[in-house]
Amino acid sequence: MMSPSPADLDAAIHALVDVGRTFAARGSVPATSGNFSLRLDERRVAITRSGTDKGALAPADIVIAHLTGPPPPGASAETPLHLALYRDRPAVRAVIHTHADAAAVLSRAGGDLVLTGWELQKAFAGVTSHEAAVSIPVLPNDQDTVALAARVSARLLAEPAAPAYLLAGHGLYTWGSSLAEAVRHAVALEHLLACELDHRRLGALPSPNRSP
């Protein structure tokens, strides 16, 4: 992969700015949460800066990180989680991390999450039926994101087909072979998690067709 031209770099930066506005409008990145990144070449990615309102991103809020180096000044503390995905999965071109409400809640329900029976599962690359069982690993959160990234890498190595993972009480990470695919995966997963959460809530209610 060749290094991007100045025009391509500018396009990548503005694409991440637009993605920030998209997810802010969805309510998926409250306060200054969440981060987004895009692979530039074999060595570098563009990623959102720490502490930024994702609905008000400017080009200066995008920094360049090297896959094998320390995060640059101003980068999010979660940059190691992005870089690990790019190193482990050469086909990944973009990573999306959001704090959707249902993701945070379901990630604390205990155990991994398995989605099945939902038509929108087919939004994930490689999933062709609502009958498929889509496993979403759930890992404990950790403020030491370098150590956390290593644990995530080991877990995903054991589950290479996973299209995403959750951090308990935190949010979701998903990715794609393009920025558009990563966005599609994130939007689909947020919808599926909201449906799954509502389904579980309904299951806890007495049926209107039977006596309590």
pLDDT per 10-residue tile (average), the chain, 212 residues? 78 97 97 97 95 96 94 93 97 97 95 95 96 97 97 96 97 98 98 96 66 44
On whether residue 208 sits in a domain, the answer given is no
171-176 and 164-167 beta bridge pairing: antiparallel
Report the number of distinct structural domains present in the chain.
Answer: 1
What's the pTM value of the predicted model, to 2 decimals?
Answer: 0.93
On whether residue 212 sits in a domain, the answer given is no
Residue 147: domain span: 6-203
pLDDT of residue 148: 98
What CATH number should be reported for the domain holding residue 76?
3.40.225.10
DSSP string, 24-42: HHTT-S-TT--EEEEE-SS
Bridge partners of residue 139, in order along the sequence:
167
Buried b (16+ CB within 10 A) or exposed e, 175-209: bbeebebbbbbbbbbbebbbbbbeeeeeeeeeeee
On whether residue 1 sits in a domain, the answer given is no
DSSP string, 68-95: TSPPPTTB-TTHHHHHHHHHH-TT--EE
On whether residue 211 sits in a domain, the answer given is no
- How far apart are the C-alpha atoms of 95 and 97, rounded to whole Å? 7
On whether residue 158 sits in a domain, the answer given is yes
- How far apart are the C-alpha atoms of 116 and 86, rounded to whole Å? 28
On whether residue 210 sits in a domain, the answer given is no
On whether residue 122 sits in a domain, the answer given is yes
For residue 153, the tally of other CB atoms under 10 A from its CB is 16
For residue 120, the tally of other CB atoms under 10 A from its CB is 15
On whether residue 23 sits in a domain, the answer given is yes
- Kindly state the helix (H) or strand (E) to which residue 19 belongs, with its residue range: helix 6-25
Three-class SS state of 104: helix
For residue 15, the tally of other CB atoms under 10 A from its CB is 18
Residue 120 DSSP one-character state: G
